[in-house]
Structure 1
Amino acid sequence: MPRKPMRTVFSSPTASKPSASPSPTPTRPSFSESVMDRTLELAGPVIAKWSPDTAPFASARVVVTSLFPDNRGEAKHLIKCVNNLQKAMHLLLTENPTSPKLASAQNLMQTAMKTLQREFYQLLSMNRAYLDPESVSSCSTRTSIHSTSDSDSDSDDDDEAADSIVQVEDASSLVMADLRLIAECMISSGYAKECVKIYNIIRKSIIDEGMYRLGVEKFSSSSIHNMDWEVLDDRIKKWLDAVKVSVKTLFNGERILSDHVFAASESIRESCFTEISREGAMILFGFPESVVRNSKKSPAKAIRVLDMYTAIATHWPDIKSIFSSESSSTVRSQAITSLIKMGQYVRTALAEFESAILKERSKSSVAGGAVHHLTIDSMNYLSLLADYSNPLSDILADSPPPPASTSTLLESYSSLSDSGESPAPTISLRFAWLILLLLAKLDGKAKLYKDASLSYLFLANNFQYVITKVRTSNLKNLLGDDWLPKQEVKVRQFAANYQRLAWGHVIESLPEVPAISLTPEEARECFKRFNASFEQAHDKQSACVIPDSKLRDDIKVDLSRRILPVYREFYNKHEAVTVGSERNLGSIVRFSPEDVGHCLSDLFFGNVGSGSSSSSSLRSPPSHTRSKKFYTSFVGLTTRYALSFFGSPTIKF
């Protein structure tokens, strides 16, 4: 039996029919996809519920209820869902970056970010009262606010944290905690740029408004140069008030808020604070530099410059702390530059003041031996400067001391305190030197008087004015304990010399022993000598002025002590026997002891005599109700400071 071909076997219907393939096994989702599915399932409804684009909010003009603080529990649940979504996206991206679920998750994340941006904006804009720098500064110190919520905590923990906030934190702290919660969520989700933009715009407006309310403005160099001093002085006063508020409240509060809201990122919090505060701070701390660079130099203006120097120097530790980052180094540099420029201005002003004393060369003497305007101007100015001994110690630390040739003179002139509380010796020596120059100048001006007695009275008046200004100002602490006693001795010497030269002939006209028996003729001659000398002295000295009440009383008491007892004793012994008859009384005994006392009491108020006083005018007791001319003139600090150089000091110390 023939065999069938192989083709027939293989091509038979049964053999050629292919066998059915098994059905494929379903593919199981990966772990990351399962996590994503679960996350989308849980987070989707929560995010959609509060989406600005979700009905009914999108289709009706309905005010969207705020998550913070109206629904804080749901707000924290939303934050938790967003954080979980971000973690799920990161996990899926590492395992399956092409998964279509990533697109869905990204869309959901964008929706959540729109909601958080809206909430962040509302919190910042609607809680300005709670977030103003003063409220922030008072409720916390920098970096001391601890987060009152944890984005990873469950709802129970969130509720407990919320309860804790209500109990221990005020409204400002609560809003700050909400802002921090949103900021940390947005930053961790990759939306830091959007968060920072909203924050910077709103918070910078707070700083700008605060600076405007404080009167801080940016002035051009030309506007300051052309500004009247009264106007500029008013601007400086406003600036002085603004510095304290700005540093202690405005910038400090903003620093605290930035540090808290963006605690999760040092770079973000530094960049935000710098962006918000730099412009205002540069204007604030740059104002003093602009003033000293563009305003006309004047010793009087140096006082205001010292005020500004003190303001920045006093607040420098806070400035350095608040603007501590590298990004805000320009603010620190501006504050330092202003200090340097102001220090240069003050050194120049002091040099000009010293030169003004040296060059003052008015040749007219002061009427009545009164206080010279140079003494008044100089001592008023120095007493003001003495209140700034601490900033002046810094400013003059590197300045050269007074000339070496005057060191011995200065040592004998003043004793400078060595106590730890006293200012640096440099500033003490500088003040001692300036007063020494003034006293030497006064010694030269005393020589302008032709009458030697007036020269001594002039020195007594002017030295007494200097002493009074030193005693009643911080100059006393700068010059040391021995300075006042030394100068008071000089004043007493000047006063004694004045009395000797102006009133010595009156005293000499009386007998050395007033009770000695004299003949009527000798007594008449003695009365005549006294009448003539006393009238002459009284006429001449009536124009003299002693402004200082103590010095005036001391001199009058001393004169009365030297003249009255002697004259009274002589008068009581010889008046009756000398006169002889009542009609001769006015020609021989022209002054009773009471008349002499009244005349002496009426001296040194600057009353100008009537020329040749008659006997009757001097005999009549001075009226105690007469208006006395007191020395009350006050000369401005900034005038009469330029004139010519004088030689070496001539006062002997």
Structure 2
Amino acid sequence: MPRKGMRSIFFKPSTSTSSLPPPPSPQRTFSDSLMDENIETAEKLITKWDDSKVPTTTALFSGTRQEAKQYLNAVKGLQSAMQYLVAQDSTSSTLVRAQLLMQLAMKTLQKEFYQILSSNREHLDPETVTTRSSVDLRSVSDYVSDYDDEISITEDEFRVSETERVSMLAMEDLKAIAESMISSGYGKECVKVYIIMRKSIVDEALYHLGVEKLSLSQVQKLDWEVLELKIKSWLQVVKVAVGTLFHGERILCDHVFASDSGKRIAESCFAEITKDGAVSLFGFPEMVAKCKKTPEKMFRILDLYEAISDYLPQIESIFSFESTSNIRSQAVTSMVKLGDAVRTMLTDLETAIQKESSKKPVPGGGVHPLTRYVMNYLTFLADYSGVLVDIIADLPQSPLPESYYRSPMREENPPASELSERIAWIILVVLCKLDGKAELYKDVAHSYLFLANNMQYVVVKVRKSNLGFLLGEEWLDKHKLKVREYASKYERVGWSAVFSALPENPAAELTAEQARACFVRFDAAFHEACRKQASWFVSDPKFRDEIKGSIASKLVQKYSEFYEKNRVGSESVRGFLPDDIGKYLSNILCNGDSGSVSSHSSSTTSSSHRSNRR
């Protein structure tokens, strides 16, 4: 159309309107022609793949990928034409025609989107998706978008398996369709299909993994044996769910809706797909924490806490969207409640030790059940020192005397120091209770043997477990000295009558009558001590040998000197030979040997416990 200035030059105005030429018909511009061409191209492809003309078994994206790309380009061209026509004349018949074509195209793409999701369930499983890094996905995305002919990704080019190859191409197809539908204003239709398909996959996966939607009342009514099995199952499930299922779903969602306009859609899709399963999964530990708290539940509670603590960074990364904040909150809440439960059980443990009031002495002066229970409990607790440091932070406790214990980590690691001092305090409470239990024995030597046995048990348990690392060498050395002190007092009191039956100087000159009297007294005292102590025992074989070796070495030395000096002339009453002393001593302190503490039994118990954990 000529501009106004040109028209003033070539066309002279006439005073008579009847002489004016008819208005010129609108001239078509290059843009008009281009848009018409876009519509015509789109119409050919869109009508070709119309449901009414294409068998249901035939899919656009299962054929030649070049044609699928042409179809998406045609939709893009149709969209440009529609935008142009709206600006020119929003009521034109051409625009109506274009709109009808777009609706038909979106219907086809929606069907293709569904078919790709449905037919590639195995290839789009989270495990397969997770194995490919984001770098791999970008490489494939660039490769697919830049290649104009038939797409063929070989194993040599990307070093991927056939399953991974199909998976990545399916992801690219979904991404291309989603971008086309969203940019055309049909995002809701695309999202609806995606959520329905992927949510069913996630829910089905969680179901097969064993995730149940239990209420608090249902969990609280479960027997502990049943609940423990569910906890063990949960510990396995959370590993798969966080590391593979939710992670893979997030990768897939972010990739399919990777365009600028699709990022918010990716967030809403992922939240809708995972929220039910994730809240149910991460809510289970909170319900366990609210169950009745008994000592045997402590370690499973710690297993749950440790698992959430380990996976929390991944949980926060995977569920980083604002719309999934409730899932992050649920995981944190469960961890807090589990920590509260552990603190309550630790306090209850200390209270139970202080209230222990049994009045029956342990037969033979062996290891008290309280000592065994608490030390085994603390040994297992030490395996969780990493999480216990956080759990017991700022938990009030009675102050330890500086002279009794000072944590070796007080300066370099205050939180670990708190844990060390709490464990040292619990052991001190046990040892104080044992002092009271020792008074139940009528024989003083027996009470010292009881204290030596129990202190030795404590030392061995600490030395052969992580308790040794927490309490430090100074603590161990101090309590080893206490073991030797108790053993020495037992030896002195328990064998004083035997030693005093011999002259203070065994080599001194004695009359035959005096020598015979000493032999009689020694024989009677020695056999009485052996008879009495035959019912006593030391549970640690090595410790028992050390005690008997100490007694034998001192007794044999003194008796040998006396025997060699006085054996002549005292044959009628002379006792046993010095070499027989060891034989007689072999029969003492052996009753109840099955309760021994050895490195084998200790390590076996610890290994058994750890094997039952996650």
Q: Could you tell me the TM-score, scaled by structure 2's length?
A: 0.88
Q: Distance in 2 between matches of 1:91 and 1:436?
A: 86
Structure 2 equivalent of residue 455 of structure 1: 447
Cα distance, 1:213 vs structure 2: 2.2
Correspondence 1:603 to 2:588: yes
Hey, what does 2:80 align to over in structure 1?
Answer: 87
Match of 2:431 in 1: 439
Match of 1:251 among 242, 246, 251: 246
Aligned to 2:267: 270
- Return the letter of the residue paired with 1:605: C
1:459-538 equivalences in 2 (<5 Å): 459-538=451-530
Taking structure 1 as reference, are residues 344 and 545 closer, same or farther at Cα in structure 2, changes over 3 Å only? same
- AA partner of residue 50 (structure 1): W
Task: Pick from 121, 128, 137 the counterpart of residue 128 of structure 1.
Answer: 121
Residue 306 of structure 1: aligned partner? 302
Question: Aligned residue for 2:35?
Answer: 36
- How far the C-alpha of 1:98 sits from its partner, in A, is 0.7
2:148 aligns to what? 158
How far apart are residue 262 of structure 1 and its match? Answer: 0.4
Stretches of structure 1 lacking an aligned partner (at least 5 in a row): 1-18, 608-627, 638-653
How do 1:116-515 and structure 2 match up within 5 A?
A: 116-141=109-134, 145-146=137-138, 148-149=140-141, 157-159=147-149, 163=153, 167-168=157-158, 170-171=164-165, 172-264=167-259, 265-293=262-290, 295-400=291-396, 402-403=397-398, 406-407=399-400, 409-418=401-410, 420=412, 423-515=415-507
Q: CA deviation at 1:63?
A: 2.2
Q: CA deviation at 1:257?
A: 0.7
2:189, 2:462 → 1: CA distance? 64
Describe the shift of the 1:192–1:334 C-alpha distance in structure 2 as closer, same or farther (beyond 3 A): same
* 8 Å contact kept, 1:368–1:545: yes
Shift in CA distance, 149/39, structure 1 to aligned 2, threshold 3 Å: farther
Deviation at 1:128, TM superposition (A): 1.7
**Distance in 1 separating the partners of 2:189 and 2:208:** 29
* 8 A contact 2:65–2:151 mirrored in 1: no
Structure 1 residues 398 and 629: CA distance shift in structure 2, 3 A: closer
Task: Look up the equivalent residue of 1:232 and give its one-letter code.
Answer: L
Secondary structure in structure 1 of the residue aligned to 2:148: helix
Is the CA contact (8 Å cut-off) linking 2:36 and 2:81 kept in structure 1?
no
How far apart, in 2, do the equivalents of 1:368 and 1:187 lie?
83
Q: Which moved more, 1:452-461 or 1:119-128?
A: 119-128
- Counterparts of 1:232 and 1:110, CA distance in 2: 54
Query: 2:105: which partner in 1?
Result: 112
Normalised to the residue count of structure 1, the TM-score between the two structures is 0.83
Q: What are the Cα deviations for residues 69-127 of structure 1, in whole angstroms up to 9, with x where unaligned? A: 43211111111111111111111112211111112112211222222122211211111
For residue 9 of structure 2, what is the aligned residue in structure 1? none
Q: Distance in 1 between matches of 2:153 and 2:366?
A: 78
Where does residue 609 of structure 2 map in the other structure?
Answer: none
Higher helix proportion: 2
CA distance in 2, matches of 1:93, 1:145: 37
Aligned residue for 1:625? none
Deviations 1:575-604 (A, max 9, x none): 45322xxxx5xxx34433343211212221
- 1:425, distance to aligned residue in structure 2 (A): 2.2
> Once structures 1 and 2 are overlaid, which stretch shifts more, 569-578 or 544-553?
569-578
Aligned pairs for 1:540-551 (under 5 A) are 540-551=532-543
Change (3 A) 1:106 1:166: farther
Equivalent pair of 1:410/1:432 in contact (CA under 8 Å): no
Which of 565, 578, 591 in structure 2 is aligned with 1:593? 578
Name the SS of the counterpart of 1:577 in structure 2.
coil
Spell out, residue by residue over 1:217-253, the C-alpha distance to the aligned partner (whole angstroms, 9 max, x if none).
1111221111000000110111111111111111111
Q: Confirm whether residue 71 of structure 1 aligns to residue 64 of structure 2.
A: yes
What code does the residue aligned with 1:89 have? M
Question: How big is the shift at 1:476?
Answer: 1.4
Distance 2:327 2:153 in 1: 41
* Structure with more relative contact order (C-alpha pairs < 8 Å, separation 6 or more): 1
SS of the residue aligned with 1:159? coil
**Cα distance change of structure 1 residues 530 and 259 upon mapping to structure 2, 3 Å threshold:** same
- Distance in 2 (CA, whole Å) between partners of 1:286 and 1:630 is 43
Distance in 1 between the 2:202 and 2:96 partners? Answer: 41
Distance change >3 Å, CA 152–CA 629, structure 1 → 2: closer
**2: CA distance between counterparts of 1:481 and 1:177?**
61
**Shift of residue 434, structure 1, vs aligned partner:** 1.1
Shift of 1:149: 4.7
Q: Is the 8 A contact 2:39 2:77 kept in 1?
A: no
1:30–1:430 distance in 2 versus 1, CA, 3 Å: same
Q: Distance in 2 between matches of 1:376 and 1:530?
A: 38
Q: Say how many residue pairs are matched.
A: 576
Deviations 1:289-345 (A, max 9, x none): 11111x211122122111111111111111111111110000011111111111111
Give the superposition deviation at 1:68. 2.6
Residue 558 (structure 1) aligned with residue 553 (structure 2): no
What CA distance in whole angstroms lies between the structure 2 residues aligned with 1:94 and 1:550? Answer: 98
CA shift for structure 1 position 28: 3.3
Q: Retained in 2: the 8 A contact 1:560–1:597?
A: yes
What letter matches 2:73 in structure 1? K
| Cα shift at 1:517 | 4.5
